[in-house]
Amino acid sequence: MCFLLIVAMLELLSCIPSTDGFATAISGQRTTPTRTKRIGGSGPTALFDAEDPHRNLPNNDEHEHEPSCVLKERNPYDVHVYYCDADEREAALELRQKMHRAFGDWMRFYPPKDRPIGPHPLPMWEADFGGYEHRHKWKDVRDFLLEENSDNLSVLIHPHSLDGDYADHTTHAFWAGRVLELRIRGWR
């Protein structure tokens, strides 16, 4: 019962906007405890261990590593870049053009969705890694997005793992910019 209360409290914290948040896990073949960092805004700045949410973890650079999970042998990762208004849409499409120039020879890019769709609470555009053989390019894409996202758009990179959609969009998710609450409550 106490664990469910803690999980519910952590879900409430995920609603708090942050200016530079991410959720990710340490690299390796097995799933490890999720570490979530929220910085800025009115929310707390902390790292939490999913197995013991009361224990603060050291404030280190966990986002140096790709998620720890077993990927499905298809497209290993999706990238979602969100926008709210016309100015953010323009910035998002500029970022899309830059990303297409940098990775267009192996990434697949999809048309923008100018309305919330599926688990995505805001309009966005999506790209994916195009095939399992590109799974090791996660760090290159992450570094590019951290460097080129000067407008601080909300960006999600999530895997397609054997752990399922819920884990892929939460414990294995990497966020650049403001962390958004995805519409995934029914996925558990």
| Per-residue pLDDT at 64 | 58
Report CA-CA distances (Å) from 5 to 8, 12, 147: 5, 11, 37
Residue 122 · residue 116 · CB < 8 Å = yes
| Per-residue pLDDT at 59 | 31
- Say whether pLDDT at 67 is over 90: no
Please give the model's pTM, rounded to 2 decimal places: 0.68
Mean pLDDT confidence for 79-90: 98
Please name each of the domains of the chain with its CATH number.
2-57+71-187 (3.30.70.1240)
- Say whether pLDDT at 88 is over 80: yes
The pLDDT-based confidence of 14 (bands split at 50, 70, 90) is: very low
Q: Can you tell me the distance from the alpha carbon of 160 to that of 72, in angstroms, rounded to the nearest whole number?
A: 6
- In terms of Cα–Cα distance, which of 109, 112, 110 is closest to 123? 112
Higher local confidence (pLDDT), 186 or 80: 80
The pLDDT-based confidence of 66 (bands split at 50, 70, 90) is: confident
Q: What is the pLDDT of residues 137-162, one digit of tens each?
A: 999 999 999 999 999 999 999 999 99
Mean pLDDT confidence for 45-55: 32
- In terms of Cα–Cα distance, which of 58, 30, 155 is closest to 48? 58
